[in-house]
């Protein structure tokens, strides 16, 4: 299965010049823990990711004003990307190698098309494991005493 079939195609975004407060409100509004940071040039190319943890550690704990602190100063870079045609197994290897729980999914011209989270991968694995368990259960001989 390819990353493009599993990833979330609805992605909340921010620009580097937005304030931390605006980013936090957008996370709350969309009920997400991260925003893909894109340049405001209309090309939808990811330049970083800002997470709720980034906002807490780099802004709040760092005693920065959420109104004046910019997303570009708080975001994590470099952004780790994977092409939408990449097999899931390769994406998992990339996550492990980069030590990240999220990969930005790109399409033609490195444009943002989605985001793949570790939770997405775990849901897939749980579903497949459950299906295998049901199959094995059905194939067990039924002995009547």
pLDDT tens for the chain, 145 residues: list them: 999 999 999 999 999 999 999 999 999 999 999 999 998 887 789 999 999 999 999 999 999 999 999 999 999 999 999 999 999 999 999 999 999 999 999 998 889 999 999 999 998 888 777 777 777 777 777 666 6
The structural domains of the chain, with segments of one domain joined by +, span 3-139
- In Å, what is the CA distance from 138 to each residue of 1, 54, 96, 134? 26, 47, 35, 6
Fold of 3-139: CBS-domain (3.10.580)
**CB-based contact 25:12 (threshold 8 Å):** no
Q: H helices within 7-140, ranges in order?
A: 20-30, 52-54, 71-74, 88-98, 118-139
Per-residue pLDDT tens for 48-76? 999 999 999 999 999 999 999 999 999 99
Q: Please give the Cα distance from 7 to 79 (Å, whole number).
A: 16
Q: Are 45 and 21 in contact (CB under 8 A)?
A: no
pLDDT of res. 99? 93
């Amino acid at each position: 299965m390819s990353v493009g079939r599993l990833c979330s195609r609805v992605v909340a975004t921010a620009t580097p010049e937005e304030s931390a407060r605006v980013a936090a409100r957008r996370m709350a509004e969309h009920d997400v823990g991260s925003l893909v940071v894109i340049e405001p040039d209309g090309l939808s190319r990811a330049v970083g990711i800002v997470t709720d943890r980034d906002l807490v550690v780099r802004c709040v704990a760092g005693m920065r004003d959420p109104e004046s602190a910019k997303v570009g100063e708080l975001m994590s870079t470099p952004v780790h990307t994977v092409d939408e045609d990449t097999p899931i197994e390769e994406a998992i290897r990339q996550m492990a190698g980069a030590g990240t729980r999220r990969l930005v999914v790109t399409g033609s011209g490195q444009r943002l098309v989605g985001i793949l989270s570790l939770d997405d991968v775990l849901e897939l694995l749980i579903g497949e494991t459950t299906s295998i368990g049901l199959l094995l259960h059905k194939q067990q001989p039924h002995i009547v005493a």
